[in-house]
Structure 1
Amino acid sequence: MKKNAFPFSRKNYQLMLIGLGIIILGFTIIGLDREPHGFGFMGLTLGPILTMLGFLFQFFAIFYRTEKK
């Protein structure tokens, strides 16, 4: 039986990169808010929701299992 050297498959790493991109996008949207101290819609609502979705996507990417043949 061949043991995989990496703990995750290629698909897991691809999904993790997508999740990281979503998190970075969320923080960027928070920073782009034009209201003082980020108190606008983008800084208080859209950015944090997108960042949280990115972290949830990361959990999915870590626990994703590829089907064995």
Structure 2
Amino acid sequence: MKSTSVKEKKSKKTSLTDKKDFVFHRKNYVVMFIGLAVIALGFILMTGGGSDDPEVFNPDIYSFRRIRLAPTLVLIGFAIEIYAILLNPHKSKSE
């Protein structure tokens, strides 16, 4: 009888170790993808504003969108990424 219980314990241990776990949980990955989308949007908003003729200056390169909005979105995206890494999905709301 005792040998079967030892085998059962070993089989339970191997079944637990065979299970492949990810580093983060689904909620972490969702928040990470949101952060990546915000970062990508910030870099997309930074593009453009150049001039076809190098002799002509285009003042549109100093617009609000490229100087203030886009870098702010990139920084917010990085903050979301940090939050996604530190997020603990198992923490209950009542604690």
**Aligning the two structures, in what range does the TM-score lie when normalised by the shorter sequence?**
0.7 to 0.9
- The one-letter amino acid paired with 1:5 is D
Moved more, 59-68 or 45-54: 59-68
Output the aligned Cα RMSD.
Answer: 2.6
TM superposition shift of 1:38:
2.8
Larger Rg: 2
- Superposition TM-score, scaled by structure 1 size: 0.82
Partner of 2:42: 26
- The one-letter amino acid paired with 1:10 is R
Partner of 2:33: 17
TM superposition shift of 1:32:
4.6
Q: 1:26–1:61: structure 2 CA closer, same or farther, 3 Å change rule?
A: same
- The one-letter amino acid paired with 1:6 is F
Unmatched tracts of structure 1, length 5 or more: none
Unmatched tracts of structure 2, length 5 or more: 1-12, 51-57
- Superposition TM-score, scaled by structure 2 size: 0.61
Moved more, 46-55 or 23-32: 23-32
User: Number of aligned pairs?
Assistant: 69
- The one-letter amino acid paired with 1:16 is M
| Structure 1 segments of 4+ aligned residues over 4 angstroms from their partners | 1-4, 32-37
TM superposition shift of 1:67:
1.8
- The one-letter amino acid paired with 2:69 is L
Percent sequence identity over matched residues?
A: 35
